[in-house]
Amino acid sequence: MFPDVLSPEVSDFFFAHRLDFATSGILTIPLNRKSCQETWENFETKYTKFYFIAIVSGHVESEMEVIDIDIGDDMRYKDTSKKMCSFREKMYCKNARRSITKILVLERGYFNERPVTKVLLLPLTANRRHQLRIHCLEIGHAIVGK
């Protein structure tokens, strides 16, 4: 497809970064060693920004929301590496760190006769595990399918 940009001496793929590996499993696969190094450096220096599009339940009323709610480990579960909670549940939430997400409404509509909103999610702080899901839940609009 792109024979002029592939390394002819290398038959392996280069993996620069795994985006949200445990959930979506998206991989960035540069076509050669040089672009792999540059891509990796962009992720490492946080030059690359992450934006997510999601469908959430219900109609989000305002066109833009900024959610500033700390997220930490939910101590009600044995494996806290997978269970996260907002700091509003203080008695269960340990090691909470500041988490801010900006939500922009792209479109409102219906899916299976239920109201939904297509939103752009922008983590404004270092993205915590499940940050987007937890923040959407906190404003009463769960990500559809999660």
Residues marked as catalytic: 20
Is the CB of residue 71 less than 8 Å from the CB of residue 128?
A: yes
Spatial CB neighbours of 12, under 8 Å, sequence gap ≥ 6:
none
